[in-house]
């Protein structure tokens, strides 16, 4: 099978090779309005009509993600709540009214 040439080769029991050629697509594909399509159909023009509908994305569940499925103990269904209170509280004390440092960091 040669897709780019729209060609299928089939070996026959007699040893010969049968070749089937597909039709080349028409390059002049045009999109027309409904009014124009009606006009063309009234004039008996050859027409192909297509109704294109956008597919709505399906809703994914959290179990569909492979990593979450592989490690269920790391990703519980329900979160237990806020993290426990720690002995040391981490914070940065700011001086009221102080200007921010004007230097770019990591220079």
Contact indicator for 6, 22 with CB cutoff of 8 Å: yes
Please say if the pLDDT value at position 24 is more than 80: no
- The rounded distance, in Å, linking the Cα atoms of 92 and 106 is 19
Count of CA atoms in the C-beta half-sphere (13 A) of 68: 9
pLDDT computed for residue 43 by the predictor: 92
Question: Model-level pTM?
Answer: 0.25
- The rounded distance, in Å, linking the Cα atoms of 2 and 5 is 6
Could you tell me the two tokens for 31? 């999109």
Could you tell me the two tokens for 88? 């040391």
Contact indicator for 20, 8 with CB cutoff of 8 Å: yes
pLDDT computed for residue 29 by the predictor: 62
35-59 pLDDT, tens digit each: 888 888 899 888 777 777 788 878 8
Contact indicator for 4, 21 with CB cutoff of 8 Å: no
pLDDT computed for residue 28 by the predictor: 62
51-102 pLDDT, tens digit each: 777 888 788 787 788 888 888 888 777 877 888 888 887 788 888 888 887 7
Please say if the pLDDT value at position 5 is more than 80: no
Closest CA to 22 of 39, 47, 5, 10: 5
pLDDT computed for residue 27 by the predictor: 64
- The rounded distance, in Å, linking the Cα atoms of 81 and 87 is 18
């Amino acid at each position: 099978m040669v897709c780019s040439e729209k060609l299928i080769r089939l070996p026959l029991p007699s040893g010969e090779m049968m070749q089937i050629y597909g039709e080349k697509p028409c390059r002049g594909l045009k999109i027309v309005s409904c009014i124009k399509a009606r006009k063309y159909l009234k004039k008996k023009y050859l027409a192909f009509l297509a109704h294109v509908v956008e597919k709505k994305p399906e809703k994914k569940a959290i179990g569909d993600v492979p990593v979450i499925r592989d490690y269920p103990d790391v990703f519980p269904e329900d979160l237990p709540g806020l993290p426990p209170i720690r002995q040391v509280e981490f914070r940065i004390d700011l001086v009221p009214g102080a200007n921010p440092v004007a230097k770019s960091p990591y220079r």
